[in-house]
Amino acid sequence: MFTGIITDIGEIVSFTPTAQGQLHRLRIACRYDQTTIADGASIACNGVCLTVVASGVADGRTWFDVDAAAETLALTTAKHWKLGTKLNLERALKIGDELGGHIVAGHADGIATIVSREDLPDMARFVLSTTRELARFIATKGSITLDGVSLTINTVADVTFSVLIIPHTLTVTTIGGWKAGAEVNIEVDLMARYAARLTEMK
């Protein structure tokens, strides 16, 4: 489990398609202490929970390897990742850690498209659109995870919604580089999904 609070920005430094393109082995450079990264550990990369298969240090930088499988490539923005792509990183939640965002599974539900970006004094407002299936779980003042970042929904209109990003978040995540037309991973609030299911079963 995760919280949607980003702890580093990683960079893809090696990219190897395998299994007829159905699996991508990625090497991601980061600032984590390599001695704390165990094989089999979970690290959320742009909101996608991936399993560490190896780690090490090269040129003074920690790196870890993960595999992005066919389903991940089909359902998330991982299909667009390439050498140099910057990724929001979060280590798995430990018992006793502060829950600063909201409960995030790291299982991206799909993709949202950035409709517009409006730069405001010290903030940025983004309007995004997603599928009707996912839009039913999105509500004003509710929580949402975009590229691994826990955010509060500002407004909702049919299949579009907006978020306001504060300066700190623009600085410590990849959101500062978002542009209209780009795609981001979306994970809807787990509680909203359960609430919808309970309503359906009545």
For residue 102, indicate whether it is catalytic.
no
Which of 7, 15, 41, 42 is labelled catalytic? 42
Which of 7, 15, 41, 69 is labelled catalytic? 69
Which of 7, 15, 51, 105 is labelled catalytic? 51
Residue 140 to residues 1, 8, 102, 163, Cα–Cα distance (Å): 24, 28, 15, 10
98 vs 102: CA distance, rounded Å? 10
| Token pair 């039913």: residue | 136
- Radius of gyration of the CA atoms of the chain, in A: 17
CB 108 within 8 A of CB 134: no
CB 197 within 8 A of CB 188: no
41 vs 168: CA distance, rounded Å? 28
For residue 2, indicate whether it is catalytic.
yes
For residue 16, indicate whether it is catalytic.
no
CB 127 within 8 A of CB 161: yes
Which of 7, 41, 92, 107 is labelled catalytic? 107
Which of 16, 36, 152, 155 is labelled catalytic? 152
CB 81 within 8 A of CB 184: no
For residue 51, indicate whether it is catalytic.
yes
Tokens coding 150: 């826990």
Which of 49, 78, 108, 135 is labelled catalytic? 49
Report, as residue numbers or ranges, the catalytic residues. 2, 42, 49, 51, 69, 107, 152
